[in-house]
Amino acid sequence: MEQKICKRCLIRELGEENYHKMIGQYIEIFDKSERASDELTENRLSICRECDKLNAGTCLACGCYVEIRAAIRKTRCPYKKW
């Protein structure tokens, strides 16, 4: 039976598998036309990986989950790195 993700859970309570599932569900909320291509997403994330603001998947500059931000076409890095 599939485990439901609780809206009231903290991320630390989700476990790694559910964390990845949650990221995927957030991205799926957006229409495909609003999503960045896989190539663009990966290019953005490679920049985040080199950035000192990256902290366990979140951006210390804005508090977002970078994997969600990077996957949405119109979003921008708060420091204009991408």
Which residues contact ligand SF4 by CB under 6 A? 47-48, 51, 53-54, 59, 61, 66, 77-79, 81
Closest approach of Cβ 1 to ligand SF4, in Å? 36
CA distance 50 to 37: 21
Would you say 36 or 66 has its CB closer to ligand SF4?
A: 66
- Name every residue whose Cβ is closer than 8 Å to that of residue 55 and which is 6 or more positions away in sequence: none
Would you say 5 or 76 has its CB closer to ligand SF4?
A: 76
